[in-house]
Structure 1
């Protein structure tokens, strides 16, 4: 078993552990086993980028990515501008990455119940087990903080030792706050739901987190006024609810040597909020440990047959019985495949957000929100809806992967008359299940914003989404749906196909823009798209077994 360098430090603290009633040698063995197992996991944050590597390569690549992110974050504080603005952006990115990584990769550390179920039965005390768990968390927090905050700490020395020390304390406080937020969120979920539901809600949390952080990236710059190259901060009441500003405030006080009441209040918040969350968590720890036992409950309820909109739509759009079978099969698997949802659903959620983010760019800084909304119908910013089509390549290309890929033998024993039925049914299912609902939601919102005159343009976008779906399938690598393990990074063809489809999406949006310059251009555009969709659908599924990936 690999000897980790961290134990050179922990061995010097052996006396402290012993005085606390911890069997240090047993704790060290447990921790060493945990760290070894962790090195065998691939980071889910960068899962799509990895090929099949050795144990150490996976861990090293994840750490290299964290260091690269830390270097990029450091660039925001290299040049002296306005320290409040710079540190606010820096801490926002640090909080985002730490919370995302912790929820996606280290949730298993917080939610691990195997220790109490297995190790405690071997005569190991609860103090030793808990010490191993807490030390495990601390090791990862320190490693992650040094990887992502190391460059920032080095650059912070240019502002003085006091700035460096406060900056370091802020990083520690942010770590504590993020881990407490994660733990308290899981506590609330486990209080009201069982362990099976928690696994679904973790996906939902990641989606909400992704959306909220992207929205925050737009909110933060708008808190500051830009006059030429000078950044001016004007405090407002609602700024007290923005966590990155709490931690930026004391650094602003040090550099600018000012102590406004707003900065003092934010500095106090940066200290007391993490402490309050720790106190709350410590009070709830016994109940949390009890709720964690729900993770052992994997009770599946058999739902009675009831009306399904997706099945009803399937009967309409899938006239062929064999095609309809694979339509329903794909629909059911998408609903139950957690790994697929974990990789695809955040992209779907971001597809709903991107059009509005780029739409907001059209709003001038001094323009009122009502004035901006009033002039939207006269603009062509509705074309930002094409950014929602960015989700299509990922959705189509990921359909071949499954965590239950070993069950693909079913395709070999089921008598399939036409292999194209598998792909036709699957493409229709993912379009109806994931792509069309997202676009329809945007269409409803855009109709409210741009009036009914935009409907003809939205019809064109729906036809364009069908075109993109067929093209993504046609140019991508062919594989039976849900028949491959989740290692998309091994497939270079997917990357080239993604780039090609994104380029094609830009061309389609450009053609749509040109169509708006001609009186009947949009109707010609719709007619052409409709004809192309029909022809593509008829000719894109002539697939031989030799062309299918094994």
Structure 2
């Protein structure tokens, strides 16, 4: 695949030279990045923890990702088979929204570390390589994958439009899909560059981390919202133009394709075409000409540690919130120390937050949209139970990530310290997960369900929360037991399949029992008492974990 990409770049070298790049240098950098990608894993299919057994064998992970996207793209494009060309504006908006959302999500989940990676500056910029050349190499490297994703997601629409109407229509969708990917690159980099201009370097990565989390949740929410706005009845209707349509990028692309389908080039369609072409290309040109210098300069300071404050006389620090909560929820000094340690690391580790917080947001967004979709299902008792246990699955994501860290080699401290009962460290960190993440997440879900359905199902909500704690403990007891932040990320992700299988079994059993208890008078309240006892017994068992049960890196 790399030789094909490089040959395409060779045919476009005039474009890169016009943007100010030293093309031979840029080509060499892109070639090295593509070669290194064989060692990198993709989060898109949840298989980012798998490593190849043979480093010389070709890596087909990305091809599987493209196949996955192409499959769903074809399914979504089937609606184009049954509508006349005059009524395709709304379905085309949906298609381009799908392309843009996937490109944006890929930038956030897989390539944000590449966009903000300052190691290239330290290695390459001391050589006679300009910052513009390096920036264009970085953007080209990312764009290669985004173009492939956009083509895969739009494959079904390209074929259907080309077959039903004309090859020109299919070709226009192809070109505009590529432009959609370029637009997402421009908007994402513009966001990062804007933050770099407005925020001090010391806080930049932290704020960018939260922006990435909010963007991921917003894009996922938009992906859930768009299909619900496009009901089957509205797909066949002609949509009247509004002024705000010219502010929404998917509508630019849809309007441009519609212009080709109808062979209409009035003022409205020409404006759509101009926006669809000029915004992506003009944005990339503007950034390459005027913003790469400041981008590189700001990026070089991202990895610099904050300057230590001058030494002062020892001052007794007030008791912090983690210490207070540790005193309330733990029973030994070792467990309290583990609780406070895990609490603070979860608040500081950017990768932990980036992998955990969006998942919690996804769960909340899905529950809200599922409940608001209408009908009798959203007000039924079964729907409430489904929402509660579905939320429990998302709440367990934090537990999966608790033992993973890029700094896992520091875990030698666990063996060097005089720790006789490692189970107390495990239970303390798990309690921190429950108090810091699972409980607030469940409170948000409970507040929404009470607002939606009233207070009649408070007992079900309480039992669902306690049952989630049972699931957390069962999953922790029956999977590999690792010390907090003690193993590489790959080791954790390889065991996720087994954990997920165990979790689904326990979820089905507990959910079925809960539904059965709703049919018995006061059965739910009795289930709450039994569940609390179960949680206490399971936590005691988890606290008794010995060293021979611990899996270390």
Fold in common (TM above 0.5) = yes
Q: Is the 8 A contact 2:403 2:492 kept in 1?
A: no
Q: CA deviation at 1:24?
A: 4.3
Q: What secondary structure does 1:412 align onto?
A: helix
Distance change in 2, residues 1:23/1:187 (3 Å) = closer
Unpaired stretches in structure 1, ≥5 consecutive residues: 365-371
Structure 1 position 81 matched with structure 2 position 69: no
TM-score, normalization: structure 2? 0.84
For 1:121, the equivalent position in structure 2 comes to: 126
| Correspondence list, 1:28-39, <5 A | 28-39=27-38
Distance change in 2, residues 1:174/1:412 (3 Å) = same
| Correspondence list, 1:167-178, <5 A | 167-178=173-184
Deviates more, 1:446-455 or 1:431-440: 446-455
Q: What secondary structure does 2:485 align onto?
A: coil
C-alpha separation between the residues in 1 aligned to 2:16 and 2:184?
Answer: 26
Q: 1:437-461 CA deviation, whole Å, 9 max, x = no partner?
A: 1112222333333444443332222
Q: 1:221-252 CA deviation, whole Å, 9 max, x = no partner?
A: 2333424x974354475666553333223334
Q: Is the 8 A contact 1:404 1:482 kept in 2?
A: yes
Deviates more, 1:80-89 or 1:437-446: 80-89
Q: Which of 361, 366, 373 is the matching residue for 1:349?
A: 361
C-alpha separation between the residues in 2 aligned to 1:532 and 1:24?
Answer: 65
Distance change in 2, residues 1:101/1:490 (3 Å) = closer
C-alpha separation between the residues in 2 aligned to 1:157 and 1:514?
Answer: 54
For 1:71, the equivalent position in structure 2 comes to: 71
For 1:204, the equivalent position in structure 2 comes to: 210
C-alpha separation between the residues in 2 aligned to 1:283 and 1:21?
Answer: 11
C-alpha separation between the residues in 2 aligned to 1:194 and 1:209?
Answer: 21
Q: Is the 8 A contact 1:166 1:251 kept in 2?
A: yes
Structure 1 position 326 matched with structure 2 position 328: no
Q: Which of 83, 92, 96 is the matching residue for 1:91?
A: 96
C-alpha separation between the residues in 2 aligned to 1:20 and 1:362?
Answer: 52
For 2:514, the equivalent position in structure 1 comes to: 512
For 1:369, the equivalent position in structure 2 comes to: none
Between the two proteins, the alignment pairs up a number of residues equal to: 537
Q: What secondary structure does 2:232 align onto?
A: strand
Q: Which of 302, 319, 322 is the matching residue for 1:295?
A: 302
Deviates more, 1:283-292 or 1:206-215: 283-292
C-alpha separation between the residues in 1 aligned to 2:132 and 2:344?
Answer: 44
Q: Is the 8 A contact 1:515 1:525 kept in 2?
A: yes
C-alpha separation between the residues in 1 aligned to 2:267 and 2:13?
Answer: 45
Distance change in 2, residues 1:308/1:386 (3 Å) = farther
C-alpha separation between the residues in 2 aligned to 1:177 and 1:195?
Answer: 26
Q: What secondary structure does 2:396 align onto?
A: helix
Deviates more, 1:47-56 or 1:417-426: 47-56
For 1:312, the equivalent position in structure 2 comes to: 324
C-alpha separation between the residues in 2 aligned to 1:144 and 1:167?
Answer: 14
Distance change in 2, residues 1:341/1:157 (3 Å) = same
Q: CA deviation at 1:15?
A: 6.9
For 1:60, the equivalent position in structure 2 comes to: 60
CA RMSD of aligned residues (A): 3.6
C-alpha separation between the residues in 1 aligned to 2:2 and 2:283?
Answer: 35
Unpaired stretches in structure 2, ≥5 consecutive residues: none
Q: Which of 179, 186, 206 is the matching residue for 1:180?
A: 186
Q: Is the 8 A contact 2:391 2:442 kept in 1?
A: yes
TM-score, normalization: structure 1? 0.84
Q: CA deviation at 1:296?
A: 4.1
C-alpha separation between the residues in 1 aligned to 2:43 and 2:453?
Answer: 39
C-alpha separation between the residues in 2 aligned to 1:256 and 1:155?
Answer: 16
Q: CA deviation at 1:105?
A: 2.7
Q: CA deviation at 1:467?
A: 1.5
Q: CA deviation at 1:425?
A: 0.9
For 1:101, the equivalent position in structure 2 comes to: 106
For 1:367, the equivalent position in structure 2 comes to: none
Q: Is the 8 A contact 1:225 1:232 kept in 2?
A: no
Distance change in 2, residues 1:336/1:358 (3 Å) = same
Q: Is the 8 A contact 1:326 1:425 kept in 2?
A: yes
